[in-house]
Homo-oligomer: A and B are copies of this chain.
Amino acid sequence: MTVEITATHRLHDGALRYCKHVSASTGTPMKFTVWTPDGEGPFPYLVWLSGLTCTEDNFTTKSGVYEHAARFGIAIVAPDTSPRGEGVADDPAYDLGQGAGFYVDATQAPWAPHFQMYSYVTKDLLEAVDGAFPLDPARRGIFGHSMGGHGALTLALRNPDLFKSVSAFSPIVSPLNCPWGDKAMTAYLGEDRAAWRAHDACALIEDGAGQSFDDILIEQGLADSFLENQLKPELIEAAATKAGRKITVRRQDGYDHSYFFITSFIGEHLAWHAQRL
């Protein structure tokens, strides 16, 4: 799989590349960024999954992550949130279609042919970046925000062989139990809610997935307007308690759902992953 580098910027004593490649899973070109520190590597790395409406650019320009990545010598990979472009299905709403892939493999029309973001991230993206950059696949973690927090949690829980650490900001912890989840999972996976369990962090914990994670760190702002209706971190705390698993939810007074929240705590998440990678 060939990776085309469309732009390079020097950033915090390392190299940031904007990249493009063709994904076999989505059947489309896909974009992502990769930052590595100076040096030969191979470097431990974190995959960041973004939230609704984001491209590969939002986290790259707004998170302030690279200063901390440089401090810990951790590389960062940030993909787009869905296939895009002509011939790819879309919806006028911000929470479905392009920019809203939800990190699942769609089975329903019109989404099925291209919306294969679960396979894209876990196979095509990892294969591409591991092949093209000095990254250490044995020291790989994952994190994300909102829809991307859901993606990080579910991809990690299902693939503890691929990811050694996982954290999330303001994640959708249970698509089975919120309006965003209802809408997206119905559209992508169909009416049979049993099929949604493989993409629901709470259900995965109930079902015993990803036992090898010693802890999962969740950061949640208490002024987040989606907290009560969509995010509901108490559901994953309850699932963890029931399963005898450790999940740490840190509730932060006054912080909202924006990148201003993410950037305020991204350094602490890097430190947390650094201990595990």
A: residues with CB less than 8 A from B are 9-13, 16, 61-62, 64, 66-67, 221, 223, 252-256, 258-261, 263-264, 267
Q: Tell me the bound Cα distance from A66 to B255 in angstroms.
A: 15
Interface centre among A9, A13, A258, A259 (most CB of B within 10 A): A9
Task: Establish whether residues B12 and A264, one from each chain, have CB atoms under 8 Å apart when the complex forms.
Answer: yes
Given A64-B67, A66-B264, 10 more A-B residue pairs with CB atoms under 8 Å apart are: A9-B256, A9-B261, A10-B260, A10-B261, A11-B260, A11-B263, A16-B260, A62-B62, A67-B263, A67-B264
Q: Tell me the bound Cα distance from A95 to B9 in angstroms.
A: 23
Q: How far is the CB of A72 from chain B (nearest CB, A)?
A: 15
Q: A11-B264, A221-B10, A264-B11 are in contact. Are A259 and B64 (CB under 8 A)?
A: no
Task: Establish whether residues B10 and A223, one from each chain, have CB atoms under 8 Å apart when the complex forms.
Answer: yes
Q: Tell me the bound Cα distance from A256 to B9 in angstroms.
A: 7
Cβ–Cβ < 8 Å partners of A61 in chain B: 61-62, 259
Look across to chain B and name the residue whose beta carbon is closest to the beta carbon of A60. B260
Cβ–Cβ < 8 Å partners of A263 in chain B: 11-12, 64, 66-67
In-complex Cβ contact of A10 among B12, B16, B256, B267 (8 A)? B256
Cβ–Cβ < 8 Å partners of A258 in chain B: 9
Q: How far is the CB of A5 from chain B (nearest CB, A)?
A: 15
Look across to chain B and name the residue whose beta carbon is closest to the beta carbon of A254. B10
Number of copies: 2
Look across to chain B and name the residue whose beta carbon is closest to the beta carbon of A266. B67
Cβ–Cβ < 8 Å partners of A255 in chain B: 10
Cβ–Cβ < 8 Å partners of A254 in chain B: 10
Look across to chain B and name the residue whose beta carbon is closest to the beta carbon of A256. B9
Q: Tell me the bound Cα distance from A254 to B13 in angstroms.
A: 9
Q: Tell me the bound Cα distance from A263 to B12 in angstroms.
A: 8
Q: Tell me the bound Cα distance from A199 to B66 in angstroms.
A: 36
Q: Tell me the bound Cα distance from A64 to B61 in angstroms.
A: 9
Q: How far is the CB of A254 from chain B (nearest CB, A)?
A: 4
Q: How far is the CB of A39 from chain B (nearest CB, A)?
A: 14
Q: How far is the CB of A269 from chain B (nearest CB, A)?
A: 13
Q: How far is the CB of A270 from chain B (nearest CB, A)?
A: 12
Cβ–Cβ < 8 Å partners of A12 in chain B: 263-264
Q: Tell me the bound Cα distance from A61 to B66 in angstroms.
A: 14
Cβ–Cβ < 8 Å partners of A11 in chain B: 260-261, 263-264
Q: How far is the CB of A35 from chain B (nearest CB, A)?
A: 10
Q: Tell me the bound Cα distance from A92 to B66 in angstroms.
A: 35
Q: How far is the CB of A47 from chain B (nearest CB, A)?
A: 20
Q: Tell me the bound Cα distance from A219 to B61 in angstroms.
A: 20
Q: Tell me the bound Cα distance from A76 to B60 in angstroms.
A: 22
